[in-house]
Chains A and B, each alone.
Chain A
Amino acid sequence: GIQVEQSPPDLILQEGANSTLRCNFSDSVNNLQWFHQNPWGQLINLFYIPSGTKQNGRLSATTVATERYSLLYISSSQTTDSGVYFCAAYNTDKLIFGTGTRLQVFP
């Protein structure tokens, strides 16, 4: 089955710093989605991004499907960005989640 790997597993930043999170997937996937799980456990949609680049405020994502990876960029990080970031690749109707990147942003 599809394997989804994320790196780095942990990331510690000071407020204002930029970061790049990576998601590699092992096989052809239909589409890809990025989520943020906040410290209260809620999973929040960030991007649905089968290919190309999307931006939403300080966050942007790029997926290069032919090379089987996606990147999530966080600029000018804030303490509210803390939590776990998951990418999930679609295999037909099923979402396969990566193991996540745990981000801690300190003031």
Chain B
Amino acid sequence: GDSVTQMEGPVTLSEEAFLTINCTYTATGYPSLFWYVQYPGEGLQLLLKATKADDKGSNKGFEATYRKETTSFHLEKGSVQVSDSAVYFCALNNRDDKIIFGKGTRLHILP
């Protein structure tokens, strides 16, 4: 079945460091890919999405490119802030609307 694998956390970085959180997926067909963010004690917020190969999703300085050849959707940000500390979930939707989530990566940004 469809699945999402993302790097395990926690990831701890200093402010202004470069961030990469790896995400790979297994799916038949052409799923849409998402990154959701969950701040402490809150629900999930959509961070960015991409619906087809080579699409780049971007928001709040975060980017991810849909790479079909490597079945990946890695999340990147050039300069992280303390306020980016949260749990990040990679996810896919393979047209049946049951979103498949990765286990999440907890990110800590130190001032």
Does B associate with A?
Answer: no
Q: Which residues of B contact A (CB under 8 A)?
A: none
